[in-house]
Structure 1
Amino acid sequence: MTGRNLEHLLKPASVALIGASDQPSSLGAAILRNLQDAAFAGPIMPVNPKYTEVSGLGCYANVAGLPAAPDLAVLVTPPDTVPGIIAALGERGCKAVVVISAGFAENAMGAGPALQQAMLDAARPHMLRIVGPNCLGVISPGHRLDATFAPIGAKPGTLALVSQSGAIMTGILDWASVRNIGFSHLVSVGAMADVDFGDLLDYLAQDAGTASILLYVEALTHARKFMSAARAASRHKPVIVLKAGRHPEGARAVASHTGALAGVDAVYSAAFRRAGMLRVGTLREMFDAAELLGRVAPLRGDRLAILSNGGGFGVLATDALMEEGGRLADLAPATIRALDEVLPSCWSHGNPVDILGDASGQRYGDALAALLKDPHIDAVLALHCPTALTTPIEAARSVAVTAKRSRVPLMACWVGDSPQVAEGRHHLETEGVPAYGTPGDAVTAFMHLVRYGDSRRALMETPPSVPEQVTPDRGAVRAVIDRALAEERSWLGEAEAKAVFAAYGIPVATTRIASGVDEAVAAAKEIGFPVALKIVSHDIVHKSEVGGVVLGLGDEGQVRNAAAAMLARIAGAAPDAAVENFSVQPMIRRPHSWELIVGATEDPQFGPVILFGQGGTSANVVADRALALPPLNMRLAHDLMAQTRVHRLLQGYRDCPPADLYSIAVTLIKVAQLVIDMAEIVELDINPLLVDSQGVIALDGRIRVAPTALPAERRLAIRPYPCELEEEIELADGRQLLLRPIRPEDEQALIAAFRKLSPEAVRLRFFAPVKELTHETAASFTQIDYDRQMALVLADREVAETAQIYAVGRLSADPDNIEAEFALTVRDDMTGMGLGMLLMRRLIEHARRRGIGMIVGHVLRENKAMLGICRLLGFEERPDPDDPAIRIVRLHV
């Protein structure tokens, strides 16, 4: 389950406290005290057979004795009592429970796991949701609910916090209280036996009282559900995440604390980036980011101008910006002329803009006004350090007034701790200008804006199509893998690995396998000198580490001597390794080329992960690499490359031409598709992948396989494009079309199809006149989550920018996969050909395969064609009680 019944958790009408107590130091007393102090408006029903009254409230002996079913129950009873209490609550009609008690699956050595499963089994028949166990509880200040044992309450606000740690949540409450920061909801999820981050993201994304969502994460469960929920939430509001366990030592601590394995930190970063979330490093950064994103307009780009009355602080800010990967804006000539008119002649004449230590408030305002008009500047950071010639409050007032005249984002840094500086910062904050105490803090805040903007644009950006269409030879790859598994081998040989890459259209170096020294010499003669000679052994993975690779052999004698020496070296370095063969391949010498690594590995949380970076024998030492979750498209592939240092070199420099970035991106997409298709591949790398301006070629590679019963698609944190739904359709006039799922690359085709609809067809589909599909709307229609949505299009068979879409059928399921709403659009010039009926039948078939229980639609009463299709397919029909012009149609699937 996901968001089902969470309104009973966060906005309950009544609360039962099971285990209430009048012992001052007990959990039951602390929680009851908080419930009462928060002035909860509904009934509070204590339950404990030891008492008839607790804290002035009548106390009940058991759940059966409650006068009514509580919306929310909070349990602080021993763990062995919890399953039975859950069953009793479910029978009474309770829909949400917070289990404060510990002693469940986080204690793997005892009866805890069995108790946790019994608890879940008791809740399931009643769709009763459980937060915890081993948690602090929940707080909804706007609903006057505090069902925790926290020592301090929360003020109402628009931030929502979901924390895996109760201790972190209490620390945040204390930190926020002195800063007057308010919350819509705070949830301590504890061990996440049921309700987890994905569930709460789904709920909070739709919660009108929540403007931003903050997460404290130690480890995740249900990675696919989390990614679906996070991607959906990030489209609506900022999601800011603080992930603990970034280092191996911290990850071990997380595992012992939560009973869950913490994944590799870089994989978590890749997942957060893909979901459009902003990752921060500290609690202070979390709140700074939330405040900043709530105050400042989205950035147009990443070009920052720095304005300062102290040159040293401008330099410090610039250093911090460069260290975080930021970019200084280049001032336009008109801006420099404008600054010349209002600044002393000895100003810095560049960015940072040093307006000198005697700068008055007027000078601040004049210089800032010039910068805010510059089209090459995306944001401005105004710095002030105390001097005897002006006051911090005077400069702050001038900056605040000037900022109101522009929509360009502005941040400020008033350096110092004196009352005068604090007054200046306070004035800026009051006027809506985020203000910081150090240049580093201000730059970090700016980079949060940059990264959040990048993530948001990535979620809505239309990826370019891949002109090169490769149909992989999956049968050939399956044969190679099956043979290796039948022989109980985990590593494919070099030739086998290259055969797999070639089957997916990845260029590979010619390789000959030789069974001995003489055959190696003969193969070298046939290939042509110079050649590379490598050992072939299923027992040796890294050949170069044992002297199993020799390059640049120029004649027969060198090959013979190298082969003999290689056998001797390996006999000494790896005496137990079985040497099967040699491989011989031509020496590929390309001037102005780079050695890269492209690979994949299996993460225990997120499944397959794609790797890109600088390759060669020093790849592990250089450690210049980035990760991404499959599936990939061209935009995602280029984004992955851009995260590495080698990417700058690949763009060319001096007399070195740019590398073929397109071919690298296509290779990344092919490798991602390979690991999507083949569940048995658990590790893969192409190293080196040689690239220059002419393209790529795989010089070496390795693949590790393992048997698995899990379907390939189920391993992925993000469901890939479901190619199995593609279907050739022949129209009555003989035209051949392709019925297929929609792709992100279809945005322009969908906009073009919309333009071909008549105004009446648009009104029947959208219930209102719509003149044009905006980029944002079209992107939301085409960039769908195949795990929750499906949109089938009838389109031209070729996949190209000019391909046309003729009809669209859409199905959007709720997060619980219980009910889905359909929508149907057929171009006016294609009506009367049975396309609507065809699409509806396919949507119903898809819903049945996914286990969706109900399909629902809202159809205008005058839309006779759509209502006729629904009647023929067996939909129930009734008027919409809120709008007599609309009919609601429902089909039990």
Structure 2
Amino acid sequence: MDSNPVKASKPTNPLDGVFKPRSVAVIGASRREGSIGHKIFTNLLDSSFRGPVIPVNPKADAISGVKTYSSVLDIPEPVDLAVIVVPAETVLPMVEGCGRKGVKAVIVISAGFAESGVEGIELQEKLTLICRHYGMKLVGPNCMGVMNTDPSVNLNATFSHVFPPQGKIAMATDSGALGLVILEYASNLGIGLSNFASVGNRADVSSNDLLEYWRDDPGTSAIMLYLEAFGNPKNFIRLARSISPNKPIIALKSGRSSAGSRAAASHTGALATVDVAVDALFAQGGILRVDNLERLFDVADILSRQPIPRGSRVAVLTNGGGPGALTADACAAAGLELPSLAEKTLQGLKALLPARASLGNPIDITDVGAPEYQGALRLLAADNNIDAVIVIFIPPVFACPEDVAAVIREMEPEFRRRGKPLLASFMGKRGCVPGTIMPPGAAGVPSFSFPEAAVYALARARDYGLIRNQPAGRLVNLPGIDRGKARRIVESAGDGWLPAKSVFALLTAYGIKSMALRFAEDLDAAIGAAEDIGYPVALKLDSATIVHKTEVGGVALDIGSSEELRAAYHRMLGRLAAVGRAAEVRGVTVQKMAGEGVELIAGITRDETFGPLILFGLGGIYTELFEDRTLRIQPLTDKDAQEMVRSVRAFKLLEGFRGEPPADVPAVEELLLRLSAMAEDLPRIKELDLNPIRAFTAGKSYTVVDARILIE
């Protein structure tokens, strides 16, 4: 590196050099049509970029009529952004020259870096060091570039053949190839973008950096993400939480199919799959997760064009009974309501529509024209029983689709004034494509080929409204934790499963309530412990290697006398001897029977990407069969704990199912917060299971019946 570099002047935002450059140099610009260097250079010219576009190519005098330079250092004027399209082995000297020139940011399109093996990883590390030395932001390498549709910039620094219309949606993608498809799809549907970025290998600029930039960008009102991996999940959550109350984030994460590949010894570890951890990350960040590209755009489209629905009450206006019924089914599945219309609305519809019309909800207005659609929409806009309207139109022979579309566009401002989203489904026609029935324009009514897609998008917009209105969570300082005692227990333990006595002592140190437990090395000690505790008791084997005790007959419940305990003890040891595992037994534990309650599971597991994860769900022997569980990334806020308890199907049992009294939900929430504190304080805990936990009736707390902790 040069010992006296020319430092780039610091922009208002570090990424302004990427998205708002005053000048762009294309290093590797080419006269050869079909080459990436030619395409990027001509795209910059064709998009009417507002500053100079300067080609750098030592083998050409001019490209597309623009004078070339042999080196970026030969360019007489300042350069804000350099787009580099040269072979990987020549990238470093080009970037070095950019640093000496004082370039603010570089986009390295070239492949052949970390994605290509060990040598590529080393090359990428050197590239990153050069950029950091000169204070340049780096997008890529191995990416397709960036866009800014703001008319004051008009930047198309990509090799895409389309430049989408200006809009309010910012888009980031980890995949350059997919980026090409995304841009074409958006352009075909008339969905406008504010910014687009393909981050490639993310050597410097990552999705987190883009989130931070778009959080403060007045031209962006919604953010779309296509993610293949995460950098810093905790920073991702922090940023998303700061953005989602004001701007929706919609994300598509690839890799669902590998979700079950994670090996684990505990129930918690087995249930904490990668995909479930991603769900946890998005839930904590207030991010809307979708499962395909079409839905990614559908949800972003409605959130960028329409008001956020104030509730779940939907009116469906259709000229066909079949589509109306399908829409009603889709609404029920998505948690949207089809309420009764206000009496004034019903009377107005009765006066407006023919007698054959159905005035329920869905409203089947039958074979009428645009004036009747307009009148019905005016009534629905004023109906306080309705939060949103979906209009379905099947083009009949005697009605003009363009006239109905014009009516919908005309009524949209009235719906917007009242804070109600308005969506359309012109059956068989998709999107706001120029020349079709719903062209893009000021009205901005999203249109879908089929009503089920409209319902899905509306339901996710409703979900965002709930997210936006939720209070922020807070970290809770819990009393009754003896961290010194807990550290001594863990520090004195070797790697492996903690003995039962140490497990329950650790729980007590964190104020986690558990059944009294006595350890016994032999039968006589077990009988003595049972008599001290009082029958009935539970007898369980204690082993460093046998984790799932029930699978080997290592648990006996409701033992009511010393004779029953003696028989259970010999039966247990006999089974283990028969399979050659008697030597793995350290002894047994004796516990008082817990009593009736809802069986739950809670636990901790550590993931290489996400760090400590906290699990909660239905417990007992059916834990992995039903997989009724949820996860959050540690640390938990009080809001996280509340959402965890309420997000599982077992919450119906905690509420009081079929006449049963409700359980002590606040105590269960506090248990999760105490587990989060334990995960924070004791990083040697690799996996922890509390299973089952018995949740008792309101005011009577809970107790941990069985627990195991793996130390590493």
1:60 corresponds to: 69
Give the AA of the match of 1:451: D
- Deviation for aligned residue 1:639: 1.4
Give the one of 699, 703, 706 matched to 2:705. 699
Name 2:250's counterpart in structure 1.
Answer: 240
Aligned position for 1:809: none
Aligned ranges for residues 47-126 of structure 1 at < 5 Å? Answer: 47-108=56-117, 110-126=118-134
Q: Give the AA of the match of 1:107.
A: S
Query: In the alignment, which residue of structure 1 is the partner of 2:141?
Result: 133
Contact in 2 for aligned 1:310/1:354 (Cα 8 Å): no
Are 1:223 and 2:233 counterparts? yes
Correspondences of 1:159-198 after superposition (within 5 Å)? 159-198=169-208
Residue 537 of structure 1 contacts residue 577 of structure 1 at CA under 8 Å; is this kept in 2? no
* Aligned counterpart in structure 2 of residue 18 of structure 1, from 27, 38, 50: 27
What do residues 551-594 of structure 1 show as CA deviations (whole Å, max 9, x unaligned)? 2222222211221221222234463862101011122221xx31
TM-score (norm 1): 0.70
2:620 partner SS: coil
Q: How does 1:374-385 map to 2 (within 5 A)?
A: 375-385=384-394
Aligned ranges 1:770-781 → 2 under 5 Å: none
Q: Say whether the 8 Å CA contact 1:529–1:554 is kept in structure 2.
A: yes
Contact 1:16 1:74 in 2 (8 A): yes
CA contact (8 A) 1:429 1:435 kept: no
| Identity over aligned pairs, percent | 37
Following TM superposition, by how much is the alpha carbon of 1:132 offset from its aligned partner in structure 2, in angstroms? 0.5
Counterpart residue number, 1:622: 626
Deviation of residue 699 (structure 1)?
Answer: 0.9
Identify the match of residue 543 of structure 1 among 549, 553, 557.
549
Q: Choose between structure 1 and 2 for higher RCO, CA contacts under 8 A separated by at least 6 residues.
A: 2
Displacement of 1:535 after TM fit? Answer: 0.9
- Whole-angstrom distance in 1 between the partners of 2:47 and 2:436: 35
User: What is the CA distance between 1:414 and its match in structure 2?
Assistant: 3.7
Alignment partner of 1:632 is 2:636: yes
How far off its partner does 1:349 sit? 7.9
Q: Distance in 1 between matches of 2:510 and 2:255?
A: 37
2:461 alignment partner in structure 1: 449
**How many residues matched?**
685
Per-residue CA deviations over 1:671-723 (Å, capped at 9, x if unaligned) read 112112222222222111111323211111222222xxxxxxxxxxxxxxxxx
Between the aligned partners of 2:293 and 2:664, the Cα distance in structure 1 is: 42
Q: Of 451, 474, 479, which aligns to 2:483?
A: 474
Unmatched runs of 5 consecutive residues or more in structure 2: 1-9, 263-271
Q: Which of 669, 675, 678 does residue 671 from structure 1 map onto?
A: 675
Query: Whole-Å Cα distance in 1 between the matches of residues 66 and 27 of structure 2?
Result: 13
| 2: CA distance, partners of 1:428 / 1:178 | 11
Deviation of 1:465 after TM superposition, in Å, equals 9.5
Q: How far apart, CA to CA, are the structure 1 residues paired with 2:398 and 2:66? A: 65
1:139/1:435 CA distance change after superposition, 3 Å: closer
Q: Shift in Å at residue 92 of structure 1? A: 1.9
Match of 1:514 in 2: 520
Question: Which runs of structure 2 are paired with 1:584-663 in the superposition (5 Å)?
Answer: 584-590=590-596, 593-663=597-667
Of residues 28, 42, 47 in structure 2, which corresponds to 1:38? 47
* Bigger mean CA deviation after superposition, 468-477 or 408-417: 408-417
Could you tell me which residue of structure 2 aligns to residue 681 of structure 1?
A: 685
Distance in 1, matches of 2:543 and 2:228, equals: 41
Match of 1:580 in 2: 586
| Contact kept in structure 1, 2:307 and 2:421, CA below 8 Å | no
RMSD after superposition: 3.4
Cα separation, partners in 2 of 1:310 and 1:494, compared to 1, 3 Å: farther
| TM-fit CA distance, 1:165 | 0.7
CA gap of 1:362–1:576, structure 2 versus 1, over 3 A, is: farther
1:790-834 deviation per Cα after TM superposition (whole angstroms, max 9, x unaligned): xxxxxxxxxxxxxxxxxxxxxxxxxxxxxxxxxxxxxxxxxxxxx
**Is 1:276 aligned to 2:286, yes or no?**
yes
CA contact (8 A) 1:136 1:190 kept: yes
SS of corresponding position for 2:601: strand
1:386 and 1:49 mapped to 2: Cα distance? 60
Q: Is the 8 A contact 1:530 1:552 kept in 2?
A: yes
Query: How far has the Cα of 1:121 moved from its partner?
Result: 1.5
Equivalent position amino acid for 2:41 in 1: L
* Cα separation, 2, equivalents of 1:211 and 1:389: 40
The SS at the match of 2:661 is coil
Aligned partner of 1:524 in structure 2 is 530
How far apart, in 2, do the equivalents of 1:655 and 1:344 lie? Answer: 48
Q: CA offsets, 1:573-622, max 9 Å, x none? A: 463862101011122221xx311111222222221222111111111110
> Is 1:437 paired with 2:449?
yes
CA contact (8 A) 1:338 1:370 kept: no
- 3-state SS, counterpart of residue 585 of structure 2: coil
3-state DSSP class of the match of 2:497?
coil
Q: Distance in 2 between matches of 1:290 and 1:82?
A: 37
Give the Cα separation in 2 of the matches to 1:331 and 1:301: 15
Whole-Å separation in 1 of the counterparts to 2:440 and 2:22: 41
- Residue type at the aligned position of 1:673: A
CA distance in 2, matches of 1:429, 1:23: 38
User: In the alignment, which residue of structure 2 is the partner of 1:495?
Assistant: 501
Q: 1:525 to 1:332 in 2, by over 3 A?
A: farther
Q: Residue 322 in 1 paired to residue 328 in 2?
A: no
Query: d(CA) in 2 for partners of 1:250 and 1:77?
Result: 40
Q: Secondary structure at the match of 1:655?
A: coil
Which residue identity does 1:503 align to in structure 2? A
Separation in 2 of the partners of 1:231 and 1:120? 29
Asked if the contact 2:392–2:427 (Cα under 8 Å) also holds between the matched residues in 1, the reply is no
Aligned 1:259-298 pairs, distance under 5 A: 264-298=274-308
Distance 1:388 1:499, change over 3 A: farther
Distance 1:360 1:23 in 2: 55
Kept in 1, the 8 Å contact 2:149–2:164? The answer is yes
After superposition, the Cα gap between the structure-2 partners of 1:554 and 1:335, relative to the gap in structure 1 and judged at 3 Å, is farther
TM-score, with normalisation over the residues of structure 2? 0.87
| Change in CA separation of 1:433 and 1:157 when aligned onto 2, cut-off 3 Å | closer
Kindly state the Cα deviation for residue 432 of structure 1 after the two structures are TM-superposed: 4.2
Task: Verify the 8 A CA contact 2:325 2:362 in the aligned structure 1.
Answer: no
The Cα of 1:75 is off from its aligned counterpart by 1.6
What is the CA distance between 1:24 and its match in structure 2? 3.0
Counterpart of 1:606, as a letter, is F
Give the AA of the match of 1:136.
Answer: M
Residue number in structure 2 paired with 1:564: 570
1:219/1:263 contact within 8 Å kept: no
Q: Which amino acid aligns with 2:449?
A: G
Q: Which moved more, 1:184-193 or 1:565-574?
A: 565-574
**SS of aligned partner of 1:106:** helix
Give 3-state SS (helix, strand or coil) of 2:389's partner: strand
Q: Secondary structure at the match of 1:682?
A: strand
Distance 1:365 1:552, change over 3 A: farther
Name the amino acid aligned to 1:214: M
